[in-house]
Structures are given as C-alpha cells and as structure tokens.
Amino acid sequence: MAARAGTAGKLKSTPAAPREGAKPVGADKRVAIMEAALDLFRANGYRHTAMEDIAQAANVAKGTLYLYFKSKDELFEALARLLAARVQEDLDAVAKRDLPLQAKVLAILDAKLGFFYRWILSSPHAAELLAPKANLPGDIFDPVDGSFRAMLSKALKEGVRAGEIDPKAAGLTLDAALETLLAAAYGAEHGGGSEAQFRERLARIVTLTLRGLRP
Amino acid sequence: MAARAGTAGKLKSTPAAPREGAKPVGADKRVAIMEAALDLFRANGYRHTAMEDIAQAANVAKGTLYLYFKSKDELFEALARLLAARVQEDLDAVAKRDLPLQAKVLAILDAKLGFFYRWILSSPHAAELLAPKANLPGDIFDPVDGSFRAMLSKALKEGVRAGEIDPKAAGLTLDAALETLLAAAYGAEHGGGSEAQFRERLARIVTLTLRGLRP
Amino acid sequence: MAARAGTAGKLKSTPAAPREGAKPVGADKRVAIMEAALDLFRANGYRHTAMEDIAQAANVAKGTLYLYFKSKDELFEALARLLAARVQEDLDAVAKRDLPLQAKVLAILDAKLGFFYRWILSSPHAAELLAPKANLPGDIFDPVDGSFRAMLSKALKEGVRAGEIDPKAAGLTLDAALETLLAAAYGAEHGGGSEAQFRERLARIVTLTLRGLRP
Amino acid sequence: MAARAGTAGKLKSTPAAPREGAKPVGADKRVAIMEAALDLFRANGYRHTAMEDIAQAANVAKGTLYLYFKSKDELFEALARLLAARVQEDLDAVAKRDLPLQAKVLAILDAKLGFFYRWILSSPHAAELLAPKANLPGDIFDPVDGSFRAMLSKALKEGVRAGEIDPKAAGLTLDAALETLLAAAYGAEHGGGSEAQFRERLARIVTLTLRGLRP
DNA sequence: TATGAATGAGTATTCATTCAT
DNA sequence: GATGAATGAATACTCATTCAT
C-alpha cells in the first residue's frame, strides 16, 4: 500500500542536486552528505551529531559541508524538505488510485504517517528530531498537511455519500470526525516496533474508527 | 473527571522528600528545585535550561543542586519519577470508582495521558522533554504502565461480559482491541490546544473506538 | 614630567575589581587576565591572540575569562577603559601643577600621547590595536579627549595673554593653532624607538611649534 | 600642488605588469585584481576582505588570483610596491621643480604623505591596512624614504644657506630639525576629514615648524 | 591559463560539574 | 549543609590555499 516501501532506504531517487547536468559529482556529494546526516541524526539525535561526524561519514572535509549547506540548521531543513516532498509524492500516487473507503483512508494515512515513521519516528531520537521541526518554516510541511487533510476529507465525504459512514450517528460533524480519525491515527506512532507492526496498528485504528462511524 | 485539576500547579503534595523529619528545609529545597526545574523545562526545554537558571529560580546556589541531585539527568529522572507516582495515584483513585464502561475507560486514559498532557505535552518543548525520557530507566514508568494496562484490560473484559463490546466482531482479540484503543488514545496528544480540547479529543476517540467495538 | 613613568608596567594600581572587599582573589584574577591580555595584544595583535592564550598566560582556564568578561571584545573594551582612566588621572595631575607655557603644553601632550605610546603605539601591532578602538563606544575616550583639548586650549590662551605666543602672527586663529599643535604632536608617535626617543621627539615638536607661534 | 590628483583613481598608469607584450590579457587581469583588491581593502579592511571577494570583484576565479600572486600577503605587498613606486614618481617630479623653501618642503611632504592619505589613511580601515605594512620587506619603502629624506635634507640645507632658517637657534642640529619636521608632518594624518583638510593641516604644520626654525 | 570544488587548521563561546571555603 | 569560583570538553563556522580538470 505504501507506494515506495522498497526504496525507503535511499535518498538518491530525488535528484535535488545543484547545477544539475554539469557535474554529477556535486550531486553525489550533496546526496552523500544528506544520507550521512539522516543516518547520524536518526542514530544520535540532532545536537549530538557534530558536523565533523557528518563530514567523516560522508567522506568529505568539514568545510565541504558548508559548500552545500549554509549551516547545520539548513542541512536539517533540506532533509525535512526532502521528506516532505517524498510524502507529497506518495499522497499524489494515492490520489490517482481508485480504492474502497477503508483502503483509501489507510493509504492516505500511511503515506504521511508511515513515511515519517520509517524515517523519523522509528528513531530513538524521534522526539529530538521533531523538536527542531517546530522551528522549520511552515512552507515545508504546511502544503503537505493541506493536501493530506483535503484528501482525507474528500474520502470521508464520499463515504458519507455512499452511506458507508455517518458521523452524525456518533454525534460528530464530518470535520470533527476527520479530526478524531486523524488524531487516533497519529497514535499509531506510539508503541515502537517494526514498520509492519506500525502498519498493523494503523490499520486496526482505521478499522475501529470507521466502524465507529457507521450509520 | 480530572481527579486533581485543582492541584495541578504544585508538586509538594507528594511528600517524597528525603531526610524527612530532620530538616524540613532540605525537603523544601528539594521541592523548590524540582518545581523550578519543571517550570523551566516546560518553558525553555531541557537543553536550553541551564543548571544555573534552575538554581536561580529556586533561590539556591548552583552547587546546591548537586547536593540533591547527582546530575542534570538525575534531576530530570526524579521529576519523571514524581510524575509517574502522581499518575499512579490517579489511577488508584479511578480504580475505586464504579463507572459505566465508556466513562471508566475515559477516566483511566485521562489519568495517564491527561496528566502527561498537562505537564509535558502541552509544552512547546514537549518533544525535547520526551527525548531524555527514552533514556530513563524502565522501572519508572513500567509499573504505572502495567497497572494502567491492567485496569484498561479489566474494564474491557467487563464490557465484553456485559455484552457492550465484542472485539471479535471487528476481527480482533481482546488484547489487540486493548492495544488499538490505547494507541488511538495516544493520538489525542497531537493537535495541541488547551487541556479542554485535549480531553474533548480523547473523549471522541474513545467514543468512536468503543463504537467500533460494538457487537 | 611624566606623572607615573615608574608604574608604567603594572595595571594593578587601578583596583577596578568586582565585589571589592569580599574576595581579593577575584580582583587579582581580573587584573591578571587584563595584564595577560594587554601583553599578548601588544605582542601578537588582537586577532592573533586567542582567548586560550590569554587564559594560559593568566594561569586560568579558558572558561574563567568569561566569568570576568562577556566576550573578547568586552575584554578589549575593559582594557581601553582602563587606559582612558589612567590618561585622565595623569591629565588631572598635570592640571594641578603650575608650569611655564612650554612645560605645561608638553606635560599635557605627554599625559595623553605618552601614555598611549607606552601602552599601544610602541607595539608592532599598534595599528591593529587601534582598529578595534574605532568600534569602541565613544564614551570611553571622548571625555578624556575633551578635557585634554580644554587643558591645551587654556594653556595656549594663557600664553597669548602673557604675550608669549601670538597665533595671528602666523596667520592662525587660536583654535587653528591648537589643532595644528595637536596634529604635529601626534606625529611624535611615528618613528618608533624607545619611550625616551618618543619624548625627545615630542619635546622638539612642541619647541618648534611654539617658537613658530611667537609674536 | 598635488602632482597627479587627476589620476588618483587609476592604477593602470603604472605599467609594472609582467609578461608585457605577450598577452595584454594577463597584464589587464593583474591590474584588475590589484584594483579590486585596493578597493576592497580600503572599503572593508584587510582581514575582512576574502580572496573570494577580490576574485569576484575582478571577474576572475579564486584560483586565478594565485596565478598572479602567491598569497594574500603577496598581493598586499604588490599593492604596497605599486604605491611606493607612485610616491617615488611624485618625488622625482617635485625634485625637478624650482620652488621657494616652504613650498618645496610642502610639496615633498605632500608627495609622500598626501599619497598615502589619499589611498590608505583616508580609509576607515587605515589602521588595519598599515598593520600588515609593518611586516612588509623594508626594500619596498626604504628607497622611497631615502630619497624623501634626502630631498628634505637638501631643501633644509639650502634654506640654511639662504639664511631663511637656522636650526641652531632652536637648539637643534640640521638632522634633528629634519626629523622633527618630518615627525610633525606625519601628525597631519590624524584628524581625518577630506583631502583638502589634510593638506591644510599639513601646510599649517609646515608653516609653524619652519617659522620655529627661523634665525 | 583558468577554474572552483575541496580542504582543514584555527577559535570564540557555553555549560555541566567539581571543590575549596 | 551551602556556596559560587573555577574548570575544560565540546562544537559550529570561516577562509586562505591547493589541485585535478
């Protein structure tokens, strides 16, 4: 259901390299740095990852990092931007597929939460990695959040129209139902475990919640 | 339903202070330090709160902190231990009350999650505060988690016996239903807002999930 | 003629230490740091003097420097402030003495220029030391400059009144004569050499210039 | 009186470029670099001017700078050498002119000091620009200083011979008078202001000093 | 010649912790 | 117990210089 579970371990597929076409070397290095950074951030947390460490892991000199990223914060931001882009891609892919209500909702939620889970939340330093996120410019995640919510809303509306669910039966407006579903789904992040366990958890939450919304 | 909303601002009610009886000054100082620390951690986050700041807020010298707590981490751990104790108290209080299924489940969840929300999660630095938590010794929250789960399990079992819910109808074992309910409830933490909004969110999640478990 | 040529090598005589009376240790350390800093600044220039070097020379840890001075710049500023205070002291001393015109003018100029020469200008890095000076808050040197000029002006006026000099004979107003004398005196800084040579140069400039102002 | 005020803005008039005749491009580039460097040094100071900045201003790549100058210091030295050459030219021009004592002395001093004032001293970063100068090999300014002193000495001697001045009357040997005049003249640099103000100051110093040397 | 990507030594500053008083 | 002066390890960032192309 996750569009690109198979490529989850690599960043290269998104060629966000500078001066595209001229020197693939630069692109490779930029990617290498980002990969090293993501690995180390996940392994050691943000503050405990020294630029020096990232440089070594990426096999470049410390100063080279600053050729590609103005600062440690900007490196982190670039990472966030990449992840956001990937989530958006997955959401777009889901939008094109014709799925029954529950599968659609699950796919949407998995596109967003699953991706984060894979990259960030499964790290023991997830919390620290999300802390700087709070300071990131809103334009990184806001658009993704927007389409995410829009898709979810659309799916629920279709479910109502098809008579599959009826928020009023549970005393909720459609918006309230959306927010509740969303919040509950976020809870799937908790509990740790493998990605499969996460997805199982998410699926069950969706199942129960949609059942709770039945007419 | 919130057992002790009125005392939420004080830590003193838990007389876990050492050397009790000899020098109340010491106990007071320990408490003063913890209160100052909790305030500052919530306000500024863990790393951005310097020991110097805590000392000043508690009106003691920096060195004094180390008379009561071996390190900054240990101070944080003591805080966590205190919060855990408070959650346990609330859970015990809920256990004694006779409530219908949904109210009981909600009370149990609120005792645990609500407390954290009040103290930690409502802080803009929640993420950072939970990061060190990951490193805390398991014996702090494990017992609380244990009785928490036990109570929830018991409530659900009674619900099954009373015919109010039937996990099998949703294709789940009782344990799976418990985990799912729990995970979904955790999701209430997300979304920010006031404590009232948090509780509203939690209530809705419980409502939907229990509805989803109906026979 | 130089009020305190004998104490030129020590800063201690100005007890600008903090928390005076409580712990002379702190005062000593502050002075030790300033002495070390002045020595190193003179020897190696501002930028090439690392805080680490100053700390070692003062026999304290690097962090200790920051207990007494907020930053390298502030340390430099404190030094400047001290020097300015010392010049002011010397000027005040000269003001109390009753001297013939030429001696008076020379004493005034020596109080200001001589002091700088001793401390700063005789360093091979004089220029670099004066560069940051440009960024210092005006309130450090402005008052000193003010009384310096005022004293010089007063001395010249008395000379005019006594018929010893007559700026008009050289086609100058008294103010123009003052500025010219002052500028010429500054020239004594150039040429290097010992302090004695500097003073000899200054004396000759004063002699010639005052002769040039004779009626 | 300023020999070449009109050409003050350009360095090209001194064809000291290497590889002359083969590739004027090279010469042009060398000149372009020096012009860019002088501009930036004056505007931002020595240390705050990055080689990268110079390269950009000169429209060449950073590495190209090192084809023409071994190091940043050597670039600065080349600049100094050029300025020294220009002063020498001006001095030579003055030597050929037949002028009365005071005008001659002023012209000589202006040739040297005025030139520096125009290029260096009038910069807010003068102090910093003169700091590296201290480390410059003596052969750059020593010859200029030599002929400068020689010319001044010759002028004074003629003044003595003509009965216009008499150092002995002021208790000085001719050499001492020379040194004193020279030092006083240097003082004209201080006080900032426009070039006109500088020249006014210099003229007054010369006037007063020569008056002081009258029989 | 010319380029510009890559290098890495150099440095100010913070803050948890210690310990003499 | 209480203090707070002293410590020093840890770390992001700059920029002159090199060198493969």
Return mean pLDDT, chain D: 84
Contact D129, D123 (CB under 8 A): yes
When mean pLDDT is compared over C18-27, D105-114, D138-147, D188-197, the highest value belongs to D105-114
Instruction: Give the per-residue pLDDT at C111.
Output: 94
Exposure of C81 in the CB half-sphere (CA atoms within 13 A): 13
Structure tokens at D170: 């002021």
- The position carrying tokens 């006031």 is B194
Residue range B22-44, pLDDT digits in tens: 344 567 899 999 999 999 988 88
What average pLDDT score do residues D157-168 get? 96
* Neighboring chains of D (3 or more beta-carbon pairs < 8 A): C
Sign of torsion, CA D184 D187 D193 D198? positive
pLDDT grade for B21, boundaries at 50, 70 and 90: very low
Q: Which residue is nearest to nucleotide F19 (CA to C1')?
A: D63
Asked if C183 and D180 come within 8 Å (Cβ–Cβ), the reply is no
Asked if D209 and C209 come within 8 Å (Cβ–Cβ), the reply is yes
Model confidence at A106: pLDDT above 50: yes
Which percentage of chain C shows pLDDT scores above 70?
A: 83
Instruction: Give the per-residue pLDDT at D122.
Output: 66
Chain D CB contacts of C199 under 8 Å are: none
Contact D109, D207 (CB under 8 A): no
Instruction: Give the per-residue pLDDT at B107.
Output: 97
Instruction: Give the per-residue pLDDT at B168.
Output: 96
What average pLDDT score do residues D179-199 get? 90
Which percentage of chain D shows pLDDT scores above 90?
A: 58
- Strand E nucleotides in reach of protein CB atoms, 7 A cut-off: 1-20
Instruction: Give the per-residue pLDDT at A17.
Output: 35
Q: Report how far residue B58's alpha carbon sits from residue D33's, in angstroms, rounded to the nearest whole number.
A: 61
pLDDT grade for B11, boundaries at 50, 70 and 90: low
Instruction: Give the per-residue pLDDT at A185.
Output: 96
Q: Determine which of C42-56, C153-167, D199-213 has the lowest per-residue pLDDT on average.
A: C42-56
Could you tell me which residue, B95 or B137, shows the higher pLDDT? B95
Q: Report how far residue D76's alpha carbon sits from residue D84's, in angstroms, rounded to the nearest whole number.
A: 12
Residue range C111-162, pLDDT digits in tens: 999 888 777 776 767 766 776 566 677 788 889 999 999 999 999 999 999 9
Neighbours of B136 (CB within 10 A): 16
The beta-carbon neighbor of B185 closest among A124, A130, A187 is A187
Residue range A45-84, pLDDT digits in tens: 888 899 999 999 999 999 999 999 999 989 999 998 998 9
Q: Which residue is nearest to nucleotide E7 (CA to C1')?
A: A61
| H-only helix segments in chain D | 24-44, 51-57, 62-68, 72-96, 101-109, 115-116, 126-133, 142-161, 174-186, 195-212
Q: Report how far residue A5's alpha carbon sits from residue A2's, in angstroms, rounded to the nearest whole number.
A: 6
Instruction: Give the per-residue pLDDT at A24.
Output: 40
User: Measured CA to C1', what is the nucleotide nearest A59?
Assistant: E6
Distance A136 CA to F18 C1' (A): 37
Instruction: Give the per-residue pLDDT at B4.
Output: 37
Model confidence at B3: pLDDT above 50: no
Model confidence at C165: pLDDT above 80: yes
What average pLDDT score do residues A183-205 get? 91
Going by C-beta distance under 8 Å and a sequence separation of 6 or more, which residues neighbour residue C130? C120, D127
| H-only helix segments in C97-138 | 101-109, 115-116, 126-133
Model confidence at A97: pLDDT above 50: yes
Distance D76 CA to E7 C1' (A): 24
The beta-carbon neighbor of C212 closest among D131, D179, D209 is D209
What average pLDDT score do residues A163-182 get? 96
Q: Does the CB of A205 have a partner CB in chain B at under 8 Å?
A: yes
If we measure between CA atoms, which residue out of C183, C200, C179 comes closest to residue C191? C200
Question: Which of C106, C204, C210 should we substitute to test contact with D (largest number of D Cβ atoms within 10 Å)?
Answer: C204
| Least Cα separation, residue B97 to chain A (angstroms) | 26
Question: Which of A149, A209, A213 should we substitute to test contact with B (largest number of B Cβ atoms within 10 Å)?
Answer: A209
Greatest CA span in chain D, whole angstroms?
A: 62
Q: Report how far residue C46's alpha carbon sits from residue C80's, in angstroms, rounded to the nearest whole number.
A: 13
pLDDT grade for C211, boundaries at 50, 70 and 90: very high
Instruction: Give the per-residue pLDDT at D14.
Output: 40
Q: Determine which of A79-88, B33-42, B55-64, D25-34 has the lowest per-residue pLDDT on average.
A: D25-34
Distance A12 CA to F5 C1' (A): 53
DSSP per-residue letters across C82-96: HHHHHHHHHHHHHHH
Asked if B186 and A190 come within 8 Å (Cβ–Cβ), the reply is yes
Chain B CB contacts of A128 under 8 Å are: 127-128, 131
Q: Report how far residue A62's alpha carbon sits from residue A75's, in angstroms, rounded to the nearest whole number.
A: 13
Instruction: Give the per-residue pLDDT at B133.
Output: 58
Could you tell me which residue, B10 or B203, shows the higher pLDDT? B203
pLDDT grade for A135, boundaries at 50, 70 and 90: low
Could you tell me which residue, A100 or B7, shows the higher pLDDT? A100
| Least Cα separation, residue D154 to chain C (angstroms) | 20
If we measure between CA atoms, which residue out of C76, C113, C117, C122 comes closest to residue C91? C113
In D70-129, the residues whose Cβ lies within 8 Å of chain C are: 124-129
Model confidence at B14: pLDDT above 90: no
pLDDT grade for A43, boundaries at 50, 70 and 90: confident
Chain C CB contacts of D130 under 8 Å are: 127
pLDDT grade for D42, boundaries at 50, 70 and 90: confident
Model confidence at D24: pLDDT above 70: no
Instruction: Give the per-residue pLDDT at B151.
Output: 97
pLDDT grade for D22, boundaries at 50, 70 and 90: very low
Q: Report how far residue C43's alpha carbon sits from residue C84's, in angstroms, rounded to the nearest whole number.
A: 20
User: Measured CA to C1', what is the nucleotide nearest C72?
Assistant: E12
Task: Mark residue D61 as left, alpha or beta (left: phi above 0; alpha: psi -120 to 50; beta: remaining).
Answer: beta
- Strand F nucleotides in reach of protein CB atoms, 7 A cut-off: 1-20
Model confidence at A155: pLDDT above 60: yes
